[in-house]
Amino acid sequence: MKIKFSMKKIQIIILLQLVVMVSSCQVGKRQAYEKKPKPEWVSTKPQNSMYYIGVSSSPKKGFLPADYQSNAQQKALGDLAASISVNIESTSVLSIIETNYNINENFSSEITASTNQQLEGYELVDTWEDDDFYWVYYQLSKSKYAAQKSAQKEQSILDAKNKYYQARELLGRDLHYNAFQFYVESLTALKPYLAESTITDINGEDKDLGNEVFSAIADFVNGLNITFSSTEIKAKKGVDLNSEIFSFVITDKNGKPVSGVPVKISFTGSGLLRNSEVSGNDGKVYCSLRKIKSQPITETLTVTVDMISFSRAAKDHMIRSLIKNIPASENKIRVIVEKPVLKIVSQESAFDSLLETNRLKSTFEGVLSSEFSINSNQEPDFTLNITSNTIKNGEYYGEAQVTINYTFDLTDANGSVVFRKTKTGEYSGADYDVATSKAYVEVAKTIERTVARELISAVNK
């Protein structure tokens, strides 16, 4: 009995200990931080002429302590950076581009964000929290920031100047696109200071480096010329084109070919397979246009330097935006779409004898005249061969029966078959001549209803 009582006593003691431990944990969870009175800086952001100050908070609900503390710290640093005002100097890149290039986007926030990434030497003044929020208070000495910024700016100008010199050297060797990339990298290095003066020694003269770099980029883009070999292009609808006809050359302001230039191509007609191309090593660009499918009319081909693609040389969003807003070179050329020349050769027979009237040929001439110049004295682009014949099939129930066999072969100037139609039909009439006439009438109707459309579609395919 004593043993049983001792065991019960031990169990009760263990149970009480567990209850105390659970209660302690719950109290610990409710009071995981030291409760302090709410400081004044939480209610009113401090002001100090000697310091930039950043204060912010993060909600605690739904977040782990490490997460809401990190959120509050980042927001407080953002608040500190925002208190460092960005004033656009009149000689800065941003000022010049707003005046000369009508680029009016607000880049202040971009520069502020860039400043935020470069912040060093800030101090954590205090933190405070209650049940719902975690607060952070940072400060940065204005004098320390000024010295830090001066050193960083000096280094950035040095890096940018080296890239600028590399770009000039590459340009001297006609490596235009490589030079453009180094100009872009130079401008990117200066990003935090594009609202400020960046005066430095360039080849023995004091110049604003940011303006020099941006002007070099703009001059390069504006100096690109899009040159066609003629003042207008003549092409026939549906005829395979010589690639040279729809080609042009990209040159710089000195007439030298420029490779690697992306262009956008638009054509008011139909048949363009791709609307973007890049100039080759010889500066040449070939339009992806195998054949024109437009109705015979005057169309327009427009070529524009693709600044959106050009801007991708910059990895930074702001620099990319600056570049894509530079006015692009453009050229237009008139394209006169002519009818292709069609020659029709017909052998229409009845019972192996040629007919005096070529009904099928006449039908084709009528329905195809809007698409082709038919049987002119010019060298044909296409030749349509018509062969047809009727065969007697005997008489049934007092009517003569005939079978008509016909083939329509359309070939191009190289002799390649573009379209072929072979078919057989049976018709009857009071006599064989009537049955033959009926057969040719029905085949002519088939040409009008379907065959002509199929032939035109094959040419434009």
Q: Read off the tokens for 77.
A: 């640093």
Residue listed under structure tokens 């480096």: 209
Do 359 and 456 belong to one domain? yes
How confident is the model at residue 2, as a pLDDT? Answer: 43
Q: What is the mean pLDDT of the chain?
A: 89
Do 213 and 272 belong to one domain? no
> Is position 10 within any domain?
no
Do 397 and 415 belong to one domain? yes
pLDDT at residue 50 greater than cutoff 50 = yes
Identify whether the C-beta of residue 293 lies closer than 8 Å to the C-beta of residue 270.
yes
Do 363 and 440 belong to one domain? yes
In order, the DSSP letters of 108-154 are HHHHHHHHHHH--S-EEEEEEE-SSEEEEEEEEEHHHHHHHHHHHHH
pLDDT at residue 90 greater than cutoff 50 = yes
Q: Which of 188, 220, 252 is the last residue of a domain?
A: 220
How confident is the model at residue 96, as a pLDDT? Answer: 79
Do 133 and 57 belong to one domain? yes
Residue 177's H or E segment, with its range, is helix 176-189
Domain limits at 212? 147-220
* Confidence label for 108 from pLDDT (cuts 50, 70 and 90): low
Helix axes 209-222, 142-172, angle to 10 degrees: 30
> Is position 308 within any domain?
yes
Helical segments of 252-393, H only = 307-311, 317-324, 359-368
Do 140 and 153 belong to one domain? no
Separation of alpha carbons 375 and 339, rounded Å:
12
How confident is the model at residue 4, as a pLDDT? Answer: 46
> Is position 329 within any domain?
yes
Nearby residues of 450 by Cβ (< 8 Å), 6 or more positions away: none
Number of domains comprising the chain: 4
Identify whether the C-beta of residue 435 lies closer than 8 Å to the C-beta of residue 401.
yes
Reported as a single tens digit per residue, the pLDDT across 174-203 is 999 999 999 999 999 999 888 889 999 999
Identify whether the C-beta of residue 192 lies closer than 8 Å to the C-beta of residue 92.
no
456 Cα distance to chain centroid: 34
Helix axes 317-324, 108-118, angle to 10 degrees: 150
Q: Rg (Cα) of the chain, in Å, rounded?
A: 41
> Is position 286 within any domain?
yes
Please, how many CA atoms are within 13 Å of residue 280, restricted to the half-sphere of its CB? 7
Q: Is the pTM of this model over 0.85?
A: no
Q: Which of 187, 220, 253 is the last residue of a domain?
A: 220
Do 162 and 256 belong to one domain? no
How confident is the model at residue 149, as a pLDDT? Answer: 87
* Confidence label for 34 from pLDDT (cuts 50, 70 and 90): confident
How confident is the model at residue 452, as a pLDDT? Answer: 97
Separation of alpha carbons 316 and 334, rounded Å:
39
DSSP-assigned letter for residue 192: G
What CATH number has the domain bearing residue 123?
3.10.28.20
What CATH number has the domain bearing residue 233?
2.60.40.10
Give the CA angle between residues 408, 413, 415 to the nearest 5°. Answer: 60
Helical segments of 190-278, H only = 209-222
Residue listed under structure tokens 């997460």: 67
Bridge partners of 168, per DSSP, are none
Residue 104, SS3? coil
Q: What is the mean pLDDT of residues 213-218?
A: 94
> Is position 34 within any domain?
no
Do 189 and 252 belong to one domain? no
How confident is the model at residue 5, as a pLDDT? Answer: 43
Do 282 and 268 belong to one domain? yes
* Confidence label for 112 from pLDDT (cuts 50, 70 and 90): low
Nearby residues of 292 by Cβ (< 8 Å), 6 or more positions away: 235, 236, 237, 238, 241, 269, 270, 271, 299, 335, 337
At position 144, the amino acid (one-letter code) is K
Lowest pLDDT segment from 67-76, 115-124, 355-364, 420-429: 115-124
Do 306 and 243 belong to one domain? yes
In order, the DSSP letters of 406-439 are EEEEEEETTS-EEEEEEEEEEEEESSHHHHHHHH
Do 138 and 170 belong to one domain? no
Do 234 and 165 belong to one domain? no
> Is position 393 within any domain?
yes
Give the CA angle between residues 435, 399, 388 to the nearest 5°. Answer: 25
Reported as a single tens digit per residue, the pLDDT across 2-31 is 444 455 555 555 554 554 454 444 444 444
pLDDT at residue 412 greater than cutoff 70 = yes
Separation of alpha carbons 87 and 77, rounded Å:
20
The fraction of the chain above a pLDDT of 90, given in percent, is 74
Reported as a single tens digit per residue, the pLDDT across 248-274 is 999 999 999 999 999 999 999 888 999
Q: What is the mean pLDDT of residues 223-227?
A: 96
pLDDT at residue 391 greater than cutoff 60 = yes
pLDDT at residue 1 greater than cutoff 50 = no
pLDDT at residue 138 greater than cutoff 50 = yes
At position 36, the amino acid (one-letter code) is K
Q: What is the mean pLDDT of residues 292-303?
A: 89
pLDDT at residue 276 greater than cutoff 80 = yes
How confident is the model at residue 81, as a pLDDT? Answer: 84
What CATH number has the domain bearing residue 443?
3.40.50
Q: Which of 193, 220, 247 is the last residue of a domain?
A: 220
> Is position 438 within any domain?
yes
Separation of alpha carbons 144 and 379, rounded Å:
84
> Is position 3 within any domain?
no
